[in-house]
Structure 1
């Protein structure tokens, strides 16, 4: 990675808020005040409650919020994009990029008294890739991991199957936080409901559907170097409340029931900014934008002309401006603009052009139309099936309905379906769909390999993330080379340009992480590796 995209990431993450350049919350005046210990901070979280609190088995966007208080990471991804020590004091990488030798921090203890050492790190790596962990994230991120060897109590040598440039970057994410080796070995089934880490807060209670509470770790003295203080956290307690309804979450903040809310509803952002008693902090999450993936393995989207036609038919700018009250940034490609490696020169490449859409469908042979205006070829209607969950987010449903309307204008019938949950899962595994929805937030452009490498198409043996089921030899080669390159910038630029030709998805918006808070909340910040509220330096001025 070059310094330029990393610097862009730092600016996107840390200057996007209304707080200071460090991404922290300000006070009601310019004097930040002297930090005070004590108090319970209550955060209103959205309804994406994780089914499991094991950081290695968690894929929820709420995952880092619920696990980072408990589990420290091996390294820290700093605001300027550099990798800083944390539980690892230092590391060396072999010239061929296959061997990482980690020197670990001494004196760290997990909440159950287990020691942090080389054996503990090795145990965590093995847990991440263990099929029993059912990891949708960690296992994908450390897929190149081969094995590890304990050289001495605080030195671990890790071998990779192939060079993997983003290895240290992803190790900074909360999804790969460290769990007690004792718990992993003796009671792995308990990690989902009661994770034991080494972090500044100790897990206390999970009332499912309602809240998760933590208490201060009084022995904590090993925060990241970029932290504003050393020693234990200032807060005595931390409570995460799950408030699924946007209106309920905002009203809880406005009434003082909670101190802060995550994923501030876009319709309330301007009210927050206009309220002198509230602060606002936001960041664009790096990785893949929120998109509708197109199943390229079967008709009608096995024809690239049909995929290009749908992309051209959809007025993404108008849709996203409407559903987000002007708060969301329209995606420019297949990684967000905050992602290290984003190809800036390709911005503006996607155009809304209904005339072009119709021309492409004519070229693809869909020239006739039935009485409803749907295109026909060889007597078959141009139809695409979009199965979604019953609890599909309201904003995405609005996008789906407007996409459906745009498609119908050019003669493509998108049928939105809501099958039972098990059927939806089965169809997803089998590839029995034409459109699918989602995003993937991560701090490297390697998200393109995760989403579009042919190696990541789901098979009976492995659940992959290439839901577009894209197979393209040229793209595969570019992404494999980028994973091993010392400077992958040009390769990722070419990969993003190739994806604009292939159109495996309709990218809609770069996903933001908007947090609103009462001004009495001081030094609330995001973790730069994955924008998520981080509470180690946070204190309450009350």
Structure 2
């Protein structure tokens, strides 16, 4: 076993891993199996109906980043490695073993033989090369996947089952990235399709389920693949999946979604609303929960704008102090949520406790604004040089409690003289609006990943349009985020990640609010459900007690 980059790397065969019992952790805040009805032998068959809070928009794992899209894709697409949700260890999946060069700029993967995609084509080292090359070519169309391949120089096909991935500099986060859905492997037939055609159909993976159909804003259906024999080392069984079929229904309204679960119309729901969790529990149904590793729910500076108010560091730092996180969690949310004490959730490797810097301090916020020349107007909103202190936040409807949270933050900021306006967009429209200059902040309801490099991919920084001034906090944050990805030494990387978190908070570039749980409601007959390490759905081991 080698230790590299906040996780333990197990280099062993899939068969040995299964023998040693690399299983999913227990439920209720961890990654493991959940379900009602006690123990029993898994049964094959049945159609699991799941209600999703958000339309996936695009089912191509290279292009998508929406949680519910990833939840679907994980059942269709396999990855080179898996990550144990209890230990964060990187364990075998499509790769049975691997070697990492001392400088973490070269990664050699030995592929499992006999793996095929659902169209019958074989997994080879050439397939690995073509997938990674395709991500790089996609560029901005695959922002998350492309960030994992920063500095990519190519993949060498050593032999049909050995691929060596090369980078121009150390890439400490890459091994963990190979466990993500974003770098899941697609068939050559899928890669040959234009990117625009891969969102709704044509996604062919090697996973335990096969995509049947996707009707945007309505439903997605998948069916069990016969002959599947290469599940991840984290799985609790081998062979075919238990479920015959999974039907994902798009139910944006949280109350309707929870009602569908209680009435038995669906067997499970994602993003179970805060106000419905107690009723679901009282009905004897299962509530599975896991705090999402990665970036917490936060406000982050829009990189496409430069305006006097948001450019003023005193204003940004005042916002950090004026947000009462405990009130947000205690009033709008529930005990399933946690007050953020950094931009990373506490379960994320490399997390630094910045609770003192995030303490609620409205007096301190007023003091900063007074010193910066922002004085209260007749309606309590501050002004400077005739300009009203108004900030706008762009946010996307995702079926969660975001509107209620933002409305409370709006009230909290008004108490110190800051006006916050809310600009709501449907899924997929917020980022283009930000590029057009709408919003001083973006509201982000988290970003899933069990590696601190998620900061580099998800923190919104000045840069694309408004380059940060040399030596400014944003410039130093950019540098720190790039440096941590290239730092091989584990202890040194932790120091750089710590520095990045402090810069993001102290300069007000991000305003962490709360840690987000993945909360899933399940019917009594749904068993063997589990979360992945990144809090996505893992349905390979799931079965229905009623057959």
- Superposed pair shares fold, TM > 0.5: yes
Quote the residue 2:545 is aligned against. Answer: 541
Name the CA shift for 1:459/1:339 in 2 (closer, same or farther; >3 Å).
same
Q: Following TM superposition, by how much is the alpha carbon of 1:228 offset from its aligned partner in structure 2, in angstroms?
A: 1.4
Alignment partner of 1:106 out of 113, 122, 130 = 113
CA contact (8 A) 1:321 1:327 kept: no
What are the Cα deviations for residues 1-50 of structure 1, in whole angstroms up to 9, with x where unaligned? 9799769xxxxx945618xx761024423xx111111111111111x212
1:251 corresponds to 2:253: no
Tell me how far apart the structure 2 counterparts of residues 96 and 419 of structure 1 sit (CA, whole Å). Answer: 43
Tell me how far apart the structure 2 counterparts of residues 361 and 412 of structure 1 sit (CA, whole Å). Answer: 9
Tell me how far apart the structure 2 counterparts of residues 357 and 223 of structure 1 sit (CA, whole Å). Answer: 52
Tell me how far apart the structure 2 counterparts of residues 402 and 287 of structure 1 sit (CA, whole Å). Answer: 24
Tell me how far apart the structure 2 counterparts of residues 193 and 132 of structure 1 sit (CA, whole Å). Answer: 20
CA contact (8 A) 2:139 2:146 kept: no
Tell me how far apart the structure 1 counterparts of residues 425 and 286 of structure 2 sit (CA, whole Å). Answer: 41
Tell me how far apart the structure 2 counterparts of residues 298 and 186 of structure 1 sit (CA, whole Å). Answer: 42
CA contact (8 A) 2:31 2:532 kept: no
What are the Cα deviations for residues 257-301 of structure 1, in whole angstroms up to 9, with x where unaligned? 11111111111212233333x222111111111111234843212
Q: Secondary structure at the match of 2:521?
A: strand
Tell me how far apart the structure 1 counterparts of residues 122 and 187 of structure 2 sit (CA, whole Å). Answer: 8
Q: Secondary structure at the match of 1:227?
A: coil
Q: Secondary structure at the match of 1:179?
A: coil
**Correspondence 1:152-163 to 2 at 5 A:** 152-163=159-170
Alignment partner of 2:355 out of 344, 347, 356 = 347
What are the Cα deviations for residues 134-187 of structure 1, in whole angstroms up to 9, with x where unaligned? 113211222232211111111111111221111011111122211111331266
Tell me how far apart the structure 1 counterparts of residues 120 and 178 of structure 2 sit (CA, whole Å). Answer: 23
Tell me how far apart the structure 2 counterparts of residues 264 and 457 of structure 1 sit (CA, whole Å). Answer: 36
Quote the residue 2:390 is aligned against. Answer: 383
Quote the residue 1:397 is aligned against. Answer: 403
Alignment partner of 1:511 out of 509, 512, 516 = 516
What are the Cα deviations for residues 89-121 of structure 1, in whole angstroms up to 9, with x where unaligned? 111111121111111111001111111000011
1:306 corresponds to 2:325: no
Tell me how far apart the structure 1 counterparts of residues 79 and 425 of structure 2 sit (CA, whole Å). Answer: 39
Tell me how far apart the structure 2 counterparts of residues 361 and 88 of structure 1 sit (CA, whole Å). Answer: 55
1:70 corresponds to 2:81: no
CA contact (8 A) 1:23 1:281 kept: no
Quote the residue 1:361 is aligned against. Answer: 369
Which runs of 5 or more structure 1 residues have no equivalent in the other structure?
8-12
Q: Secondary structure at the match of 1:324?
A: coil
Q: Following TM superposition, by how much is the alpha carbon of 1:449 offset from its aligned partner in structure 2, in angstroms?
A: 2.1
CA contact (8 A) 1:286 1:442 kept: yes
Alignment partner of 2:290 out of 283, 295, 311 = 283
Alignment partner of 2:453 out of 446, 451, 459 = 446
CA contact (8 A) 1:5 1:339 kept: no
Quote the residue 2:247 is aligned against. Answer: 239
Name the CA shift for 1:418/1:203 in 2 (closer, same or farther; >3 Å).
closer
1:180 corresponds to 2:187: yes
Name the CA shift for 1:309/1:246 in 2 (closer, same or farther; >3 Å).
same
Structure 1 range deviating more: 253-262 or 397-406: 397-406
Q: Following TM superposition, by how much is the alpha carbon of 1:458 offset from its aligned partner in structure 2, in angstroms?
A: 2.6
What are the Cα deviations for residues 198-253 of structure 1, in whole angstroms up to 9, with x where unaligned? 11011112222221111111110011122111111111111111111111111111
Q: Following TM superposition, by how much is the alpha carbon of 1:189 offset from its aligned partner in structure 2, in angstroms?
A: 5.3
CA contact (8 A) 1:71 1:179 kept: yes
Quote the residue 1:10 is aligned against. Answer: none
CA contact (8 A) 1:63 1:175 kept: no
Tell me how far apart the structure 2 counterparts of residues 78 and 413 of structure 1 sit (CA, whole Å). Answer: 44
1:218 corresponds to 2:226: yes
Q: Following TM superposition, by how much is the alpha carbon of 1:323 offset from its aligned partner in structure 2, in angstroms?
A: 1.5
Quote the residue 2:237 is aligned against. Answer: 229
Q: Following TM superposition, by how much is the alpha carbon of 1:452 offset from its aligned partner in structure 2, in angstroms?
A: 4.4
**Correspondence 1:69-88 to 2 at 5 A:** 69-79=75-85, 80-88=87-95
Name the CA shift for 1:418/1:102 in 2 (closer, same or farther; >3 Å).
closer
- In the alignment of these two chains, the number of paired residues is 519
Tell me how far apart the structure 2 counterparts of residues 179 and 250 of structure 1 sit (CA, whole Å). Answer: 34
Name the CA shift for 1:172/1:359 in 2 (closer, same or farther; >3 Å).
same
Q: Secondary structure at the match of 1:168?
A: helix
CA contact (8 A) 1:292 1:435 kept: yes
**Correspondence 1:265-344 to 2 at 5 A:** 265-276=273-284, 278-295=285-302, 297-344=306-353
Q: Following TM superposition, by how much is the alpha carbon of 1:393 offset from its aligned partner in structure 2, in angstroms?
A: 5.4
Tell me how far apart the structure 1 counterparts of residues 429 and 483 of structure 2 sit (CA, whole Å). Answer: 37
Q: Following TM superposition, by how much is the alpha carbon of 1:394 offset from its aligned partner in structure 2, in angstroms?
A: 6.5
CA contact (8 A) 1:453 1:476 kept: no
Quote the residue 1:25 is aligned against. Answer: 34
Name the CA shift for 1:42/1:155 in 2 (closer, same or farther; >3 Å).
same
Q: Following TM superposition, by how much is the alpha carbon of 1:477 offset from its aligned partner in structure 2, in angstroms?
A: 3.7
Q: Secondary structure at the match of 1:428?
A: helix
CA contact (8 A) 2:271 2:400 kept: no
CA contact (8 A) 1:164 1:483 kept: yes
Q: Secondary structure at the match of 2:434?
A: helix
Q: Following TM superposition, by how much is the alpha carbon of 1:334 offset from its aligned partner in structure 2, in angstroms?
A: 0.8
Q: CA RMSD in A?
A: 2.8
CA contact (8 A) 1:295 1:301 kept: no
Q: Secondary structure at the match of 1:173?
A: coil
Tell me how far apart the structure 2 counterparts of residues 348 and 170 of structure 1 sit (CA, whole Å). Answer: 32
Quote the residue 2:500 is aligned against. Answer: 495
